Structure 1
Amino acid sequence: MAAVADISSEAAVAITNNSNRISDSKPKSESEFNVQKLVDMFTKLNPSAKEFFPSNYINYQHDHPLHLHKSNNQLSAAAESFFIAADKNSCYDDFANNRRRRNNFNQGRRRVNGRSFRAQREDSIRRTVYVSDIDQNITEERLAGLFSGCGQVVDCRVCGDPHSVLRFAFVEFADEHGARAALSLGGTMLGYYPVRVLPSKTAILPVNPTFLPRSEDEREMCSRTVYCTNIDKKVTQAAVKHFFESACGEVTRLRLLGDHVHSTRIAFVEFAMAESAIIALNCSGMVLGTQPVRVSPSKTPVRPRVTRATSL
């Protein structure tokens, strides 16, 4: 029996060896060959090579030298990927935090500026009255003179179509008491019509501060200057100058303005004497060309044009 067991065990070993030899002798399939080829290629790659580092990793090496672990002049691939990800996340976090702080600051500043602007506008509205049914021959100076008994007049702005018989205006006072007192002047005859006075719902749009007088000399220039509107487009600058000089006095500077949008033009006329500017206010309603012009005191001086030096 022992002999039979030995023979059977030897036969099993022989069969196993034969099967291994047969399997080794079989040719490898094409897929097994390709996989082996890829494995060989990946084993030859160096994870610490320069090509595997992002462009911003060099700066990270200088900024975080203690975070880098070197062994035999090669970086650990796991540590390398960890620090790259940490550096990228920290950059994103810093950018997001800075932007949030900047946006919060700007929004807070806008809220403060918005509240301040609304408060100033509401205060200006409470100090302003709306005047309607104004005769077209009434100037801003004459209208302001009517309300000067109610309080200090800060601004007076006549508006409306220059071709209309009746116009409207906004008169702003230094305080609310003047505006409330002005309401009692409703029905007062001014020119040929009784005016209506109501609380204003809007504030007067301020004049561009760059055009306002900058010195005492320019304020003196304003006292000698009038603002003329509703000028016929066919009227030349020489004709406008002759119109005012013949009726008021010597004109030292004149600026005639217009565009292709509006049907009429405007002008700033500066006289040699302040008395001439006062006389020119009475020219409002007189026909120049084919249109009756409107004359009011100017809030801005006529500055000389700046000539640019030509380069040789």
Structure 2
Amino acid sequence: MAAVAEGSASAAAKEVEYQAGVQKLVDLLSKLNPAAKEFVPSSAAASSPPKKALSADAPVFDYHSIGGGNGGAKDSAIGAGFYAGNQHRRRGNVYINQGRRRSNDRSRRAEREDSIRRTVYVSELDHTVTEERLADIFATCGQVVDCRICGDPHSVLRFAFIEFSDEEGAKTALNLGGTIFGFYPVRVLPSKTAILPVNPKFLPRTEDEKEMVMRTVYCTNIDKMVTQLAVKTFFEELCGEVSRLRLLGDNVHSTRIAFVEFVHAEGAIMSLNCSGMILGTLPVRVSPSKTPVKPRVNRVGSN
């Protein structure tokens, strides 16, 4: 029995010694850096891709701070500040761009609302009423900038939008409600929409284009038999030298339109007084243009 007890004590002592050795080895290995050069095989080091340089916006992390030393904490704070600074600059640029977009949106919304206030809605038009005739009638209320009849041309329930150069003209036009145009009395109400928004890609973008717009007028109700040279001659005799002109038309509409650019802004201003004058066989309507004449258009002088 004594021999058995002595053997058990010896085995327990060896187990304790073994466990202590294992723990010592674990503690030793835990202090080693597996990424150290001496632990990386030469073949793996040769095949690994080169490290990429950090970009200016990349966050900076400090590995010294893992140990909790003062130096590590200081470097970590600097890295955090650098990262936060870059984040702040990025957010600042986003805020600036968003502010510009909101400002542009407000400006476009204000222009659209102004156009709506200058526009009236005319309903219950019969098929005998033309845009030219309708514009002539409402011109007694103020200068008509644009007139657009919508709906089935063969229907007796067509409607139209008429835009004036100012709000006073639109308010005066409301008094024409109940007037018989063709065979039916029409209704005239304040419009809830503008006639047609101008495509943004055609709007002036540079200072030169804005200056061109100041020298340009938009003409409608031009007789289809009138040539480009005749339009040029008409405006030059009354208003001054024309630098560029574009005459447009199609097989659907009975009249044509034109964009006329003058050498001087005074010519464009004077041309507004030509609205209602006969060009060919029809009274032309002239209003300020919202877009410049495209440079690709040939110079005037050809038909």
TM-score by length of 1: 0.51
> CA offset at residue 83 of structure 1?
5.3
Q: 1:160 aligns with which of 137, 145, 151?
A: 151
The answer to whether the 8 Å contact 1:128/1:199 transfers is: yes
Q: 2:183 aligns with which of 174, 178, 192?
A: 192
Counterpart mapping for 1:96-175 below 5 A: 96-175=87-166
> CA offset at residue 169 of structure 1?
0.9
Q: 1:77 to 1:122 in 2, by over 3 A?
A: closer
**Distance (Å, rounded) in 1 between the aligned partners of 2:249 and 2:89:** 51
> CA offset at residue 144 of structure 1?
0.9
The answer to whether the 8 Å contact 1:48/1:77 transfers is: no
**Distance (Å, rounded) in 1 between the aligned partners of 2:179 and 2:146:** 20
Q: 1:120 to 1:30 in 2, by over 3 A?
A: farther
1:130 is paired with a residue whose SS is strand
1:38 is paired with a residue whose SS is helix
> CA offset at residue 140 of structure 1?
1.7
**Distance (Å, rounded) in 2 between the aligned partners of 1:58 and 1:103:** 20
Aligned to 1:35: 23
Q: 1:220 to 1:96 in 2, by over 3 A?
A: closer
The answer to whether the 8 Å contact 2:122/2:160 transfers is: yes
Instruction: Work out which of the two has the higher radius of gyration on C-alpha atoms and give 1 or 2.
Output: 1
Counterpart mapping for 1:261-300 below 5 A: 275=280
TM-score by length of 2: 0.52
1:90 is paired with a residue whose SS is helix
> CA offset at residue 211 of structure 1?
9.5
The answer to whether the 8 Å contact 1:152/1:174 transfers is: yes
The answer to whether the 8 Å contact 2:145/2:165 transfers is: yes
Q: Gaps (5+ residues) in structure 2?
A: 1-9, 41-50, 205-211, 228-246, 258-278, 298-303
- Give me the identity figure in percent: 43
Paired positions, count: 228
1:158 is paired with a residue whose SS is strand
Give the alignment's Cα RMSD to 1 decimal. Answer: 5.4
Q: 1:211 to 1:275 in 2, by over 3 A?
A: farther
